[in-house]
């Protein structure tokens, strides 16, 4: 079944933001950024595609985006509350994605700091936030979300991955998933805007797969070994390094489990 804007909007009522659906596009995030600078388009709006030819992942990676199989979703919001509105935002988006997956019977969906969604060691969804403009003035944020929905095979993904269909054994209606995700996001973004990340910090930690685990944090050629304590009120990672609590902000960091050869492909 193909994506259908009317169906998504009907299911995501009362949300009534414009939806722009493309058959094939380079990247829904890049297209969203292009539309922000076009005065005919006013945020909030949602960009969707059946296929991305140059889908973007974190840290310069490609996001494999085959036609009519998965979800490529970029929600554009205007941010007018300054930098504090961005604190922990990507982690909150992760919670919304996780709950949408669980609502589709992917009960094992959980979080990996900063914003991966895994089932066990396998990645099922990823999040790429892009900021446009000056965060201390008016700016826009693009919440880019990729979910492996009905994909069953790919020779191109060089890490452990799964999809909703692989987990449940059934193909899903992507229109339903998108509506669910959109409603979840609306709920979590409202709570985040009203109360800040601090109100969601404990829920995030409860769903963090690697809470209390021995990990290595990789930044370029540097490796830091520690135990995951959790996240702070801004969404930064708290690690125990030989008895000393140390805080790491997101950015270009990558986290790996130690003593577990199955996750080597996360590099
Ligand atoms: C990651 O590396 O985990 C982030 C992946 C983000 C992929 C999504 S798909 C929709 C949006 N458009 C893109 O080009 N990337 C994001």
Q: Write out pLDDT tens, residues 44-76.
A: 999 999 999 999 999 889 999 999 999 999 999
Minimum CA distance residue for ligand 1 atom 11 = 144
In angstroms, the Cα distances linking 13 to 7, 16, 44, 232 are: 10, 7, 15, 34
Minimum CA distance residue for ligand 1 atom 9 = 146
Quote the pLDDT of residue 59: 86
Q: What is the best residue among 122, 128, 145, 178 to mutate for testing ligand 1's pocket, by most ligand atoms within 8 Å of CB? A: 128
Measure the CA–CA gap between 95 and 228, rounded to whole angstroms. 18
Quote the pLDDT of residue 263: 31
Measure the CA–CA gap between 217 and 187, rounded to whole angstroms. 31
What are 1-38's pLDDT values in tens digits? 999 999 999 999 988 899 999 999 999 999 999 999 99
Distance 58 CA to ligand 1 centre (A): 7
Q: Which residues of the chain have pLDDT under 70?
A: 250-253, 259-267
b/e sequence 166-183, b meaning 16+ C-beta within 10 Å: bbeeeebbbbbbbbbbbb
Distance 61 CA to ligand 1 centre (A): 9
List phi, psi (to 5°) of 238.
-105, 120
Quote the pLDDT of residue 214: 95
Which residues line ligand 1 at a C-beta cut-off of 6 Å?
27-29, 52, 55-58, 61, 63, 72-74, 116, 126-128, 144-146
Quote the pLDDT of residue 222: 84
User: Which residue segments constitute the domains of the chain, with CATH numbers given?
Assistant: 5-205 (3.30.930.10), 210-257 (2.30.30.100)
Measure the CA–CA gap between 113 and 119, rounded to whole angstroms. 14
């Amino acid at each position: 079944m193909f994506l259908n804007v009317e169906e998504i909007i009907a299911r995501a009522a009362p949300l009534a933001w414009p939806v722009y659906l493309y058959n094939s596009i380079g990247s829904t995030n890049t297209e969203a950024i292009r539309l922000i600078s076009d005065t005919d388009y006013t945020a909030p709006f949602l960009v969707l595609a059946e296929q991305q030819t140059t889908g973007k992942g974190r840290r310069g990676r490609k996001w494999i985006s085959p036609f009519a199989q998965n979800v490529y979703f970029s929600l554009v919001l205007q941010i007018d509350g300054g930098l504090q509105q961005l604190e922990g935002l990507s982690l909150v988006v992760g919670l919304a994605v996780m709950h949408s997956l669980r609502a589709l019977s992917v009960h094992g969906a959980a979080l990996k700091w900063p914003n991966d969604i895994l089932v066990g060691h396998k990645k099922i969804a990823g999040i790429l936030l892009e900021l446009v403009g000056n965060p201390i003035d008016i700016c826009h944020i693009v919440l880019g979300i990729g979910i492996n929905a009905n994909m069953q095979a790919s020779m191109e993904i060089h890490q452990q991955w799964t999809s909703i269909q692989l987990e449940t054994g059934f193909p899903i209606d992507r229109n339903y998933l998108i509506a669910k995700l959109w409603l979840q996001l609306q709920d979590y973004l409202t709570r985040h805007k009203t109360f800040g990340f601090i109100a969601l910090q404990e829920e995030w930690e409860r769903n963090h797969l690697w809470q209390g685990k021995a990990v290595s944090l990789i930044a370029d050629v540097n490796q830091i070994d520690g135990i995951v304590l959790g996240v702070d009120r801004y969404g930064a990672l708290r690690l125990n390094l030989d008895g000393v609590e140390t805080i790491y902000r997101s950015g270009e960091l990558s986290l790996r489990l130690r003593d577990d050869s199955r996750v080597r492909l996360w590099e």
